[in-house]
Structure 1
C-alpha cells in the first residue's frame, strides 16, 4: 500500500541488530515463507525448514495477507508461532488490512495475530508529506520551489510510494533538461496525480475559493475582488489567490481575471507573499492550511 510497512519492518530488524548484535533476526516475506515451505516438502527437508524459522530470536514476516487460502502454510506458521511464543521470542507481522478483514485465514492463526499489539499505519499528514519530500530532495541533491513541494504534498495523500513517484518524475526531468522547474511545468508534468485530495477539487471554482476565504475573514466577495488595499482586505485577497493557484489548474492569468481583472504578476506576487509569511508565522500558516483543508474536504 506504500505506507512504509516494509521499511518499518526492516528498520525494526536493523535496530535490533544495532543494539543487540548477538540476536538472530529473520526477515522474510509471506510469499518467500510459503515458497520455501513448499520447496522443503518437495525436497523432503521440512525439518530443515522448521529449524531455520524456529531457531531465531526475532521473526519478521511481511505481507501476511499473502497467506489467505494457503491452508498448509498457515498450519506451518501456526506451529512456528507457538514454538517461538513459548520460547519467549519476538515476532512482528505486517498486513495490508486489519486482521479481522482477512479471508480464508484459520481462526486459530488469526487469533494468534490478534493476541499481540496491533498498530494501524495511517497515510502521512500534510506536514509529514512536506517533510518527506524535502528529505528525499536532499537525498537527491536537488531543489524544488516551495509551491511545487506544497502542490505535491497537498494532492498526493494516499501513500509514500506515490509521493516519491511524483517527486522522482520531476527530479528526472530537471536532471534531463539541466534547469530549474517552474510551477506550471511541474503541474503539466505530473498531469493527473495518483490521488487527489478530493474529487470536489475537479469542479472547485475560483469563486468558491473567494467566498470561503471571505466568509472566514468576514469580508464579502465584492470586497476581495475590489480595488481597496487596506490590510483587512489584502490578506484574504492574497490568501485566496494563493489557494486558487495551489488547488486548481487555472493559470495565473485566469485567476487574476477572477479577482477583478488583475494582472497575472499580481497573482504571482500574492503567491510568493503568502509562501514567505507561512514560513515565518506559524499562526498564519495554520490559517492558510485550515482554509485549504476546508476547501478540499467539502
Structure 2
C-alpha cells in the first residue's frame, strides 16, 4: 500500500512518452511464474524467453512471490542477464530491500543490488492530507470538514489503501444514513481501522524527540528556566503532547514539572498561532510529527 505498482506504471508511461516506439512490458512476478510454468508444459519456453527479451523496458512487480520457486528463479536470473546484457531497462519492485529477501537466489540479489535501490517510505502527513483532498475534490457532493480530513490523515498512517478505504467507508455510511460527516462519526465508524493504525506515542517519547531536535537537555522539560531557547521547545513539546496523545491538559502539565493546565493551554494556542505566521516554526513541528509518527 505504499504506491510501488503505481510508481512502476508511471515509469512505463514516462518512458513511453520519451520513446514512443519502445516496447514496454509490465507483469507481476506471479504472472511471470505462471506464464513460465505454462510455457514449460506446452514446450513453448523459447517463445516465452523471446517475448520477454524483445522488450525495451521490463517491469516486474512484487518479486517476493518467487521466493522458494527454484525453476522460476533460474529463468528470472537468465532474463535479468539478457536484459542487462542488451543494454535495456529493468525495473523490479518488492515489499522489502533485496538483502532482506530470504529464499531468493543470491545471484539474483547481487544483480538487483547493482542497480539503484529506492526505498519507498510511507506517505507522510502532508501527502496523506493531499491524497484525501484530491479524492474529495472529485466528489463535490461529499461534505467533509477540514477537521475530519486532518483527523483521518493523522491517524490512518500505515498505508494509502487503508487511508482511502477509511474515507470510502465513512462516505458510504454517511450516504446510507443521511448523517453529517463529523469527527465523532469518523471515530465511531472507523474504530477498527484506527485502533490498528494508532501507535501509542507517549509524552516521554515526545520530550525526548524535542530535546534531541533542539539540542537541549532533557531536564529542561521540567525546569523553571524562562530562557527563550528553553521555553519555546518546551511549548512545542506541550503542543505535540496535546495533538498526539489522549492526555488532558492537567496530565500534560504534570509531565512538565507539575505545571498548571493553563500553562499548557497557553503553549498549545501559542504554537498553533506561530505555525500560521512563522514558516520556520511550522517546519519544525512538521519535522517532529514525521519523526514521531515513523
Query: Are 2:62 and 2:94, in contact at CA under 8 Å, matched by a contact in 1?
Result: yes
Unaligned runs of 5+ in 2: 212-217, 224-231, 253-258
Shift of 1:16: 1.7
TM-fit CA distance, 1:26: 0.2
Partner of 1:195: 197
Deviation at 1:18, TM superposition (A): 2.5
TM-score under structure 2 length normalisation: 0.73
CA distance in 2, matches of 1:35, 1:26: 16
Distance in 1 (CA, whole Å) between partners of 2:95 and 2:125 is: 22
1:210-248 deviation digits (Å, cap 9, x = unpaired): xx9xxx9x9999xxxxxxxxxxxxx99x99997677434
Q: Does 2:186 match 1:186?
A: yes
Residues 243 and 162 of structure 1: is their aligned pair in 2 closer, same or farther, counting only changes over 3 Å?
Answer: same
SS at match of 2:128: helix
Task: Identify the residue that residue 147 of structure 1 maps to in structure 2.
Answer: 147
Task: Measure, in 2, the Cα distance between the counterparts of 1:87 and 1:287.
Answer: 48
1:1-25 deviation line (CA, Å, top 9, x unaligned) = x111111001111112233220000
Indicate if the aligned counterparts of 2:124 and 2:290 stay in contact, CA closer than 8 A.
Answer: no
C-alpha displacement at 1:287, in angstroms? 5.7
Write the distance in 2 (CA, Å) between the matches of 1:279 and 1:134: 20
Match in the other structure for 2:169? 169
Tell me the distance in 1 between the aligned counterparts of 2:270 and 2:181: 20
Mapped to 1, the partners of 2:74 and 2:169 lie a distance apart of 44
Q: Aligned pairs, how many? A: 278
Distance 2:260 2:56 in 1: 69
**Partners of 1:35 and 1:196 in 2: how far apart?**
38
Check whether the contact 2:2–2:160 (CA below 8 A) recurs between aligned residues: yes
| Alpha-carbon distance between aligned partners in 1 of 2:261 and 2:53, rounded to the nearest angstrom | 73
> How do residues 1-298 of structure 1 correspond to structure 2 at under 5 angstroms?
2-141=1-140, 142-176=142-176, 177=178, 179-182=180-183, 184-191=184-191, 192-197=194-199, 199=200, 201=201, 246-248=243-245, 278-279=275-276, 281-286=278-283, 289=286
Distance 1:100 1:138, change over 3 A: same
| Contact in 1 for aligned 2:125/2:290 (Cα 8 Å) | no
Q: Report SS of the residue matched to 1:95.
A: coil
Contact 1:37 1:46 in 2 (8 A): yes
Deviations 1:250-276 (A, max 9, x none): 799x99xxx9899xxxx9xx9999878
| Distance in structure 2 (CA, Å) of the matches to 1:30 and 1:65 | 8
TM-score by length of 1: 0.72
